[in-house]
A and B are shown apart, each in its own frame.
Chain A
Amino acid sequence: MPSTRKFSAPALTALLISAAALQAQSLGPLPTPSALKMMSVEQLMDIEVTSVSKRPEKLSEVASAIQVITADEIRRSGATSIPEALRLASNLEVAQIDSRQWAISARGFNNVFADKMLVLIDGRSVYTPLYAGVYWDVQDTMLEDLDRIEVISGPGATQWGANAVNGVINITTKSAKDTQGSLVTTGVGSQLRSTAAARYGGELAPGVFYRVYAKYFDRGDSVRPNGNKSNDSWRVGQVGFRVDWDRTSADQITLQGDGYDGTEGQVGPDTIRANGANLLGRWTRQLAENSDLKVQLYYDRTHRRIPGSFTQNIDTYDLDFQHHRPLGAAHDLVWGLGYRLVNDGVVNTPTNAFLPPRVKHQWFSGFLQDEIALARDQLHLTVGTKVERNDYTGFELQPSARLAWRPDKTQTVWSALSRAVRTPSRIDRDLFSPATPPYRISGGKNVVSETLLAAELGYRVQIEPSLALSLATFYNSYDNLRSLEPLSPPLAFPVVASSGLYGHSRGAEFSADWRVSPRWKLHAGWNELRVSSEPQTGTIDRSTRDSIARDPNHQVFLRSSLNLSTRWDFDSDLRYIAPIGNQNLPGYTEADLRFGWRPSAPWELSLDAQNLLHAHHPEFNSPGSRREIQRGVYGKATWRF
């Protein structure tokens, strides 16, 4: 008799947890039965279930302050966007500024444009070279297609390059092979006013899998402290595709692309228009068990028109090559080369101007990293450096040394020393206000790279299969941080951008994962952070040191994921964010709740409440420009077939 289970199609396509990075550390977290149910046989066979005698391929991912957010955790968190999902990483500061803007950083210096975090989506950098930072409003995909998000706090510059100063957020989507079949999801609510998305995955030819998707959302306003709406509701539509071809068991080819278009409200009658598209191709080849090659090429276009401010068009072309191979028994080498070309065109307004309006910049980079087994399976040293050339400051060197000691299979003690830089962006060099002389604010032709020297010490332990703890501590010393200096003191204006500040930060990131039972998982996170900055000798800074770092001293997170039955999920989380002193921002506690119900295999219904404890609360900025985030409730239905 045929015994194909009706739910096997979704099971083959569905969500998976893929904590491969943590699995490599011998004992990964226990998957929940409901997560296992969603995994296909192929996926189950792709997880590293035991420690492998060969060294984990990415030691840096383990012997560093990394947190991995899995697809299952994103689904169960009720997050409706990538920034919301990032709240799951307790080593990040995530502050929602208004309805569409977010300030996200690790290890301090958080700001509207947090310029010390590098963010990649499937290997494509989304750090904007114009403004230095990430436009979070247009970084989106089908959340159901996310594979995982790795959040590395601490410098990752040796491998990732410039601007990976305070951390790296690495977002990856699933292979098209793992998103076969149809998925339709729709939701309505108070803040997320409406959303709809559909995806279809199929097989073009044997071994060639594809998916296409389309999504749309409409989000409501944030409010002013007095409760009035602040006219920043927004809506974005996005389409995309991904093709994965397993040409042979050793060759994998990926082609993917996205396009989006959105309109966003702002103060004043005109709306912001943001759209863009990208196309990426990647070829990876397994040369031997420990050796592989990767070639990646992408094109990315972003357009944004901010009425009354400026209009930008940025075209980015990027080529990357990476080769990984062992050398003898004790060395594991990774090296790579990269080239990037950016065509950046701005249409200025009388208010402010990027001068010259059109620029073309090139970046060349190379890196070499060697992981040396000093004592097999116990002591590893990873040393390497990135050498990068940019048009502003010439050559930049970003070396690091990282030592990992594993006294046994359940513990890792690690330590690292690194240098990282944030290279100047157009906002540092080219921004003038107003658009014609006399300028009140001038771009600084002498702005140099911000440099960081970072010392880290961390400890991870798997006390038993169900309980894992991690502690990372750091001391960061910054030089040449961006300042604004008066040209004719004591007059406050005009000012010119410069590199006149020192900075220091220190802190600790603690996290605990406890599988209380197969049905119940708890996560706790605790961050302590102290940031300070002061002018270099002979510098008069006007950038108000208060504005470059807007960080709470403490953050505490608690999350619970509970399977009430195989059909019912109950997830809850609480976060406490301490006051941000230099913004006179009070501390706050907020909670999210989610009930998920799977009445039958293809269907999933959920009821989500976000920021449940207050009608509205502020998370960022000083009182004058402050917006507050409203409580949100939404319901969502997902159908897989």
Chain B
Amino acid sequence: MAVLKPRSRHLWFAWLLVVAVLSAAPPAKISPEYAYKAGLLSKLDQFVEWPARAFRDAQSPLVIGVLGEDPFDSYLDELVLGEKIGERSIIVRRFRQGDDVADCHILFISRSEAGQFEKIISALAGHSVLTVGEDDGFEHAGGIVRFAVEGGKIRLRINPDAAKAADLTISSKLLRLATLVTKEKG
């Protein structure tokens, strides 16, 4: 700051003080990859129709669940804050292994739950939960949407049979952007 005149120095100091007071949150521990994945996760509801019975009433919120270690920091919460679908607000809830996740509408299953997928997914049979995962084979294990990273970019892999079994309708707009995985393909 040696190049600054005293008056300027005061200005810099005042400016720093103002911005410092306005925010005192701790640094984010999140990589860009998970920031963008959070972005995608928060937008999936725009492309999915749930059956009426998946909600108690027209006002009850849409629940995005995160099962296991949360890789999104506060991003997911910030992304859905204030967003509405009709009269529904969107809320984020976090779960640990063994919790009842059947009330979620979208469930992100963290990598920390690897090996438990089939168990988690079979427990959701009969519930309209859009399951989202990241690991290889997630969509083959009955998961509906997988965020795969290919060529450095996020790619969607969708298992339409699993979506149908959960009574979910995924819009063609999203399906067009995804690679569809069916049983025949293995």
Contacts and interface: CB of A to CB of B under 8 A. Distances in A.
B46 A23 contact: no
Interface in A1-43: 1-8, 11, 23, 27-31, 33, 36-37, 39-42
Nearest to A41: B43
Interface string B15-38: 110110011011111111101111
Residue among B7, B39, B48, B81 with the highest chain A CB neighbour number at 10 A: B39
Interface in A22-67: 23, 27-31, 33, 36-37, 39-42, 44-52, 54
B183 to A, nearest CB: 25
- From DSSP, what is the main secondary structure of chain B's interface residues? mixed
A560 B32 contact: no
Nearest to B31: A465
A5 B28 contact: no
A196 interface: no
Contacts of A51: 152
B49 interface: yes
A36 B38 contact: yes
A332 to B, nearest CB: 16
A517 interface: yes
A200 interface: no
Contacts of A563: 78
Contact of B27 (A517, A554, A574, A576): A517
Given A466-B28, A591-B11, A518 B177 contact: no
B46 A8 contact: yes
A33 B16 CA distance: 23
A36 to B, nearest CB: 4
Contacts of B75: 33, 36, 518
Residue among A28, A520, A567 with the highest chain B CB neighbour number at 10 A: A520
Interface string A568-594: 001010101010000000010101000
Nearest to B3: A554
A3 B152 contact: no
Interface in A86-143: none
Contacts of A516: 23, 25, 27
Interface string B122-166: 000000000000000000000000000101111110000000000
Contacts of A591: 11, 15
B32 A572 contact: no
A515 interface: yes
* Chain B interface category by residue count: 35 or more
A613 interface: yes
A42 B177 contact: yes
Contacts of A28: 32
A44 B36 contact: yes
Interface string B45-78: 1111111100100000010000000000111001
Contacts of A572: 15, 18-19
A516 B27 CA distance: 5
Given A36-B38, A576-B4, A613 B152 contact: no
A556 B38 contact: no
B79 interface: yes
Interface in A474-523: 515-520, 522
Given A2-B49, A560-B19, A49 B32 contact: yes
A591 B47 CA distance: 43
B86 interface: yes
A563 B28 CA distance: 14
Nearest to A2: B49
10 contacts: A36-B35, A36-B38, A37-B79, A47-B153, A49-B36, A515-B28, A519-B23, A560-B19, A562-B23, A566-B82
Query: 4 closest pairs, A vs B, by CB?
Result: A517-B25, A52-B152, A36-B39, A33-B78
Given A36-B42, A41-B177, A562-B22, 19 more contacts: A3-B88, A5-B45, A5-B46, A5-B83, A31-B36, A36-B75, A37-B42, A40-B43, A41-B40, A49-B154, A50-B149, A52-B151, A465-B31, A558-B15, A562-B23, A566-B82, A567-B82, A572-B15, A574-B12
Interface of B: 3-5, 7-8, 11-12, 15-16, 18-19, 22-23, 25-33, 35-40, 42-43, 45-52, 55, 62, 73-75, 78-79, 81-86, 88, 149, 151-156, 174, 177
Interface of A: 1-8, 11, 23, 27-31, 33, 36-37, 39-42, 44-52, 54, 289, 464-466, 515-520, 522, 554, 556, 558, 560, 562-567, 570, 572, 574, 576, 578, 587, 589, 591, 613
